[in-house]
Structure 1
Amino acid sequence: MKKIIFIPILLVLLNCSSDSTNETEQMYFPPTDGTASWETKSVSNLRWNESELQPLLDYLELKHTKSFIILVNGRIVIENYFNGHTALSNWYWASAGKTLTSTLSGIAEQEGIVNINNKVSDYLGTGWTSATVAKENLITCKNILSMTSGLNDALGDGVSTENLQYKADAGTRWAYHNVYVKMQDVVAQASGRTWNAYFNAKLRDKIGMNGVWINSGTSGDLSVYWSTARSMARFGLLQLNKGKWQNTQVLNENYYDQAINTSQNINVAYGYLWWLNGKSTYHLPQSQAQFNGSLIPNAPNDMFMALGKNDQKIYVIPSKKMVVIRMGDSADGTNFALSDFDASLWEKINALIQ
């Protein structure tokens, strides 16, 4: 009788052990020495629905994707390139790169050279906007990181002084605005180094990214990051591991926690330049309307995202120990961050992983 009972129990335990491998295995980090090696894990090993892999890849190619990566516990499960793109091709992050500025702001704060609660004019001096000194001095670094500067978002992409005009008191209005790049000036001024030099030393080189900031826009005062898809995946992995790369705490957890949680009470689906899924309401770029529900209802509630123009995506999902990267041209039409493509893509991903 004991044997009859023992064998099924043993089989159940073995089954559970296999299913929980993803929960117990150690997070993997690819080498930072420029080698091409990166550990992989198969779809079959994860017990995903393999029959749904090709439909996902076909959909991605149809929707003008150039690169697509899924990491689980840091290991590459899916890596595909389309439409002439390769693993060595650089592509722009667009506004997904805002999260790089957020991360560098946190690093500067942990080094004691920036306090995000301080007003921006403490670092840049007065006159960096067209607002009165009194109104300008209301704008803190945190206001910039949370998109609550109160500056007019309807004056185009430029961030010259004449384009940064008062609209409302800082902290009283959420509006998606390129003024976030002023945090790059803050960090450069506080560190005594160029933005590029500080970025490369404190983030890029520490986690083995490639890439470069390139001036963009008619005014020439906006910088957009370009890199390979794997470099974007490295950054996503750093965020999945709460700012830690192997044994190095690149970004402290206190700032990290603030950055990926609600930063103000107007748009609860926004942190410090990160979009947050699973919230009760949200706002979208170029709109003051509030919408009910989650940003991407069919995606995990704990997911936080870097979203860029024309469907540049970094999805970080802690509950699944997963990072998803998508680079390419716009899936359907020009968009500024969130698009209908997000929900459609997650329908395909869910079919694969569930």
Structure 2
Amino acid sequence: MKTIWLSVIALCILGFSCSTDPSEIQEPQEDSIYFPSINSDEWETISPTDLKWDQTKLQPLLDYLELKNTKSFIILYNGKIAVEAYFNEHSSTSPWYWASAGKTLTSTVVGIAEDDGLLNINNKVSDYLGTGWTTAPLEKENLITCKNLLSMDSGLDDNMGDNVSPENLRYIADAGTRWAYHNVYVKLQDVVAEASDQSWNTYFNSSLKNKIGMSGTWLPLDDLSVYWSNTRSMARFGLMIYAKGKWENTQIVSENYINDATNTSQNINESYGYLWWLNGKSSYHLPQTQLIFNGSLIPNAPTDMFAALGKNDQKIYIVPSKKLVVIRMGEAADAANFGLSDFDNTLWSKINALTN
């Protein structure tokens, strides 16, 4: 007994706690997420070597990106920059378009407006825009909710081009019964403007852009308003989403909304949330087709990954399990595309070789 007691004293002298109260045992704390200042472009880095990634796989990844018409590429690990590269005469200050990857900006601001009590996504769109915003029969138009626009199941004809004037918004099926990739989502920007009694740009800037230190602006392109920014601004947005809607200690958009936005939003296309693409599901639909494809959206990517995908391979990939946010901007890697292409799967095989 004397020997045991002396051993306990020795442990205490060496700095071990002598308390037997389980409530006093300190669990190891997981590294907190790093956020850069919203007032400067300084950003902490972490080397792939420190992360025990395979450094020999970095240059092949960068060579592939350059070959595939990439302009910029960033990997964040828990908020810190692990890889940042610019190609083809692009620089850290050069703006580039987000294309449909910017749909997720609209989705997020809709969530902020709902958090602010300005709108309810389950309300019909005509509650905010009035009737006649489509050419659908009134009883069919009144079936379309803001959530239907977020989920791409408005039931409006997706073969009428990019313009979203009423004559191009024609009924083809009841809302909620048909999934189709459609630019009608942009009407959500009008909903936010009406609900907030501000312009879309003003509300966007004050509720999201300025709060996380983004650069950029909305510019007209092919009958739509498209966001342009530098690459780090895209990374800032991805980081805020990775952090479940927070920036440091400020909740920008509610965690509940982010959870809903990044999970299956309807029962037709498992791989689609609120304007976010979802990996790891059993099937998916693609733009401009009603075919169902079996399997995961990007087989080489982690199953918990979700993504903002824009025309000509603008990408925001978010992987919570690996603490990664990955950004790619540039020209189309191969042929012009709506956002998803064979490039995604090959790119992820090279990212995996580096990070696994």
Amino acid at match of 1:334: A
Q: After TM superposition, give the deviation of residue 24 of structure 1 in Å.
A: 2.3
Q: 2:168 is matched with which residue?
A: 163
Structure 2 alignment gaps of length 5 or more: 1-28
The answer as to 2:116 corresponding to 1:116 is no
Partner of 1:260: 262
Matched, 1:197 2:194: no
Structure 1 unaligned residues grouped into runs of 5+: 1-22
* Residue of structure 1 in register with 2:307 after alignment: 305
Alignment correspondent of 2:35: 29
Q: Specify the code of the residue in structure 2 equivalent to 1:31.
A: S
Instruction: Map Cα deviations across residues 191-217 of structure 1 (whole Å, 9 max, x no partner).
Output: 000000000000000000000000111
Q: What does 1:62-211 align with in structure 2 at a 5 Å threshold?
A: 62-211=67-216
Report what 1:16 is aligned to: none
| Distance in 2 between residues matched to 1:254 and 1:49, nearest whole Å | 36
Indicate conservation of the 8 Å contact 1:285/1:337, yes or no.
Answer: no
SS, match of residue 70 in structure 1 = strand
**Deviations along 1:106-132, whole A, 9 cap, x unmatched?**
000011111000000000000000111
Equivalent residue, structure 1, for 2:5: none
Q: Distance in 1 between matches of 2:88 and 2:111?
A: 36
2-side partners of 1:224 and 1:198: how far apart?
16
Alignment correspondent of 1:19: none
> What CA distance in whole angstroms lies between the structure 1 residues aligned with 2:340 and 2:46?
29
Aligned-pair Cα RMSD in Å? 1.0
Q: Match for residue 286 of structure 2? A: 284
TM superposition shift of 1:233: 0.1
Give the conservation status (yes or no) of the 8 Å contact 1:215–1:223: yes
1:326 maps to 328
Return the offset for 1:36: 2.3
TM-score, with structure 2 as normaliser: 0.92
Listed one character per residue, the Cα deviations across residues 155-204 of structure 1 (whole Å, up to 9, x for unaligned) are 11110111000010000000000000000000000000000000000000
TM superposition shift of 1:343: 0.3
Residue 81 of structure 1 and its aligned partner are, at CA, apart by 0.2
2:273 is aligned to 271
Counterpart selection for 2:340 from 333, 338, 341: 338
CA distance in 2, matches of 1:101, 1:237: 16
| Number of residue pairs matched by the alignment | 329
* d(CA) in 2 for partners of 1:264, 1:323: 25
- Residue in structure 2 matched with residue 350 of structure 1 by the alignment: 352
Q: 1:298 Cα shift? A: 1.0
Q: Which aligned segments of 4 or more residues in structure 1 are displaced greater than 2 angstroms?
A: none
The residue identity in structure 2 corresponding to 1:340 is D
